[in-house]
Structure 1
């Protein structure tokens, strides 16, 4: 990377993770001489065998082609916490592919969302100026649409991950499909419930301003209502008073609901609040199912208060995106989609699915995450 490029990154407050260059894997004509070799994935009860098989099929088809080296960028909302496995996986994939590329996440010192959106737009434009042929992006939202459309008009392939821009001309979306994820979590709790009548409380989102959260909540609601249960939704909040307000609302509802609450389902990383509310209402026997792998959620699982949780496969989101971008260049978009078909729910969305983690499998799941570098 040039000094000028470093200065640009520093000025925007962006963090460069890595640059993977693969010139040693090409012959004199600039075509790949050494087949792509994936890092072996250890076998584990949580290893998504079908997803792994699809990636292997894509690699096998790419290896039949002969293409020049590629350049790409993967642009994320952050690089820590939830996003850390995405960073690890995207860097690993680009290293295996031997492409020039980097993984960036805007860091707005103020924490302001509009500033972060603008930083990401500048990243998009700089990636194009630097010669990127493909961009993988977790967009903040519609604020990135114009910059991405401009990039695509110049021939850059775009793959979204985690958050989609379905109205754009992006090639493929990779990640959790929220309505299906909500339904999966609901089915896990449904198996623990007594026969109706009864009320199920969802710690979710019913605000149409957050479409992904609402879709996940509606997916769960439909499962319970179809099974004959009443449903009450508490929209989760993350501000300074959110936890106290969430717990108080759920506690009061647990004490007053008619018919009584027979189960609680949390759909976001603060799912542990369901257990806090049940304890506050002195209802320790109500089954609770959660989402994500927050340390507080894990603590309640170890105590037996949360029976299971559901985790997104963000590692596989990060790993798939560079391979998809590379595949589009090597074998074309349609051929790439044909290979991804087992994981696609429609013409342009890849569902990476969920890991369902029972309370007695916490350590086994930690072992799995460690084995792929996704802790």
Structure 2
């Protein structure tokens, strides 16, 4: 009884080196011999004489079917074997392309690579844009692609969109102090607009911890708005908050775009201006999967003042001014939350009376219009 071959033995015989070398030599010789050559003068004379003999009937029939044709068939057979050997990696390549057509350059089959290119991230914003973003594909947002059809599709995610400028000394204020002011401003923006607890309606504790308690009037107003919101004290003027009983965020991504600048402050320190837009995709809390987006642009002016010259708290920011522009939220509702509107349901608020605006247009200053206006947005 023969032994069972071991598992580590090859399943197919290997080609010996000497056989492979002989095969290579034969192939090269055949290629050289089969290459077209310019016939010599003697060869042309012989060919002409044979043609004349054939015309006179002096050659036997079938003289052209001799060994020369057999040799040609032999070379053809070797070429077929060569193609079979080369055909193995070719077949593998074809199979790979069939499984993943994107391996071919240029996406010839239209597999969607162009969509990925269109969604490539934008470079950071270092200056005010000169115009609004161009038109996007007219796609409806979905749970899987909540930013489809929005310019924000190419914006950075969350904190990644808040890129601090390089800190430099401003007059007597050192670069380290400038860097501290920039980082505190970012902490305020994150806590007020990106913190998941804040967005879901909780108290924005992280953002409030950055503000100087030596501004008691400001903090009292913010606390009043968070406890008992109303028209005069509405926390959404500084914080992005949604009613968890009404809507819930789609996924964990909030798109962010903007810039931060700094200059010498009026309180012996460094003044920072932050201008950022945040895009929030949400669905109704009661189950339907229709996705809508609310767009919030905020402009803040803060200062890290000099504690040796002014009565301020070291390491805290003075909030000097803040403004906002909100796209796709019900007008004249002062309950402390943003209220996105869905295209499938009619708005319960008043009819639009103000101008139509593009909430993605960051090339203009925030419009200081009449508080009684309720405008429309051109896109969400």
Bin the TM-score by the shorter chain: under 0.3
TM-score (norm 1): 0.23
Higher helix share: 1
Which protein shows a greater Rg? 2
Structure with the larger RCO, 1 or 2 (CA within 8 Å, 6+ apart): 1
